[in-house]
Amino acid sequence: MTLDLCSDTHMHTTYSDGSAPVADMADAAFEKGLTAIAITDHVPLPFDNRYAMKMEQISRYRDDVGQAKNEYSGRMAVKTGLEMEYMPEHRDWMDAILAIGWDLTIASVHNLVKGERPLLVNGNETEFQACLNKNFGRDIKSLCRAYFHTVQEAVETGWFDVVGHLDVLKKYNTKNRFFNETEGWYRELVNDTLNTIHAQGMKLEINMGALAHPIAIPYPSPWIVWSARKKGIPLVMGSDAHHPRAVGQGFDRIQAILAQPPASPPW
């Protein structure tokens, strides 16, 4: 299965937690030789947070991406996208935003809710530890199960195009601090999730933004990418860039990372 290394399907601007406007991100992509991009700022959320777009910004956001589309028409495809943070508790909120219509939507899980408390699994390490401690009583297996089951639920809605940073909960799992990816219970969760993605006909992102995170391994791990390939799941590249210099980051390294198959079949 060939990877399109000239398309970047995941990046953020100043409309959410990025550091540059839409035009600058598009300019950087074109200068780096990309032929297609998706601007995918974080979907507005119905609670206070530090990273998502504001609801009142959506119209202007779409206008700015539309301007970039026109600017690069015939030279580079520019898609109007969103990184949709799937939270079962806010399905009606998300449904209304999706109804506007988007070229590309990424299904991601950033928060896990226990009771009425949303806590980040994809934040800084203090926030991850808070989610693990307060919402899951330091039971990492329960956190992982809740995470992957939420991803599966997002996929089963049929609302989205791409699954984003599938195993982002490993961000701080250096030296297997929290769990070991080779253990059967974890691999079973991943396999079930890949089967759900395949059944729904969705794409899976290889997120190279992880190279700048403590774990320094793409999301998902190479063994998961190999398993996805074996199942026939389409793969797309995403830089998860938050500034122009990160657009397309790591794309030149992915072939080397995936060059060697797992030592033994993962399933």
**246 in a structural domain:** yes
pLDDT tops 70 at residue 267: no
Digit-coded pLDDT (tens) for 32-88: 999 999 999 999 999 989 999 999 999 999 999 999 999 999 999 999 999 999 999
Provide the number of structural domains found in the chain.
1
**267 in a structural domain:** no
Distance CA 11, CA 23 (A): 12
Largest CA distance in the chain: 53
Return left, alpha or beta for 21; rule: phi > 0 is left, psi -120 to 50 is alpha, else beta.
beta
**104 in a structural domain:** yes
Backbone torsions φ then ψ of 48, nearest 5 degrees = -65, 135
**263 in a structural domain:** no
**Which domain does 15 fall in, by range?**
7-257
Task: Give the pLDDT of residue 1.
Answer: 58
Q: Residue 167: give its domain's CATH number.
A: 3.20.20.140
Distance CA 58, CA 209 (A): 25
Digit-coded pLDDT (tens) for 134-169: 999 999 999 999 999 999 999 999 999 999 999 999
Task: Give the pLDDT of residue 264.
Answer: 55
Q: Confirm whether pTM is higher than 0.85.
A: yes
Distance CA 58, CA 38 (A): 15
Query: At a CB cut-off of 8 Å and minimum separation 6, what does 193 contact?
Result: 148, 151, 152, 155, 166
**265 in a structural domain:** no
Mean pLDDT of 198-222: 97
**195 in a structural domain:** yes
**1 in a structural domain:** no
**204 in a structural domain:** yes
Please state, for a pLDDT cut of 70, what percent of the chain lies above it: 98
pLDDT tops 70 at residue 266: no
Radius of gyration of the chain (CA): 18
61-94: b (≥16 Cβ within 10 Å) or e = bbebbeebbeebeeebebbbbbbbbbbeebeebb
pLDDT tops 90 at residue 117: no
Digit-coded pLDDT (tens) for 220-260: 999 999 999 999 999 999 999 999 999 999 999 999 888 87
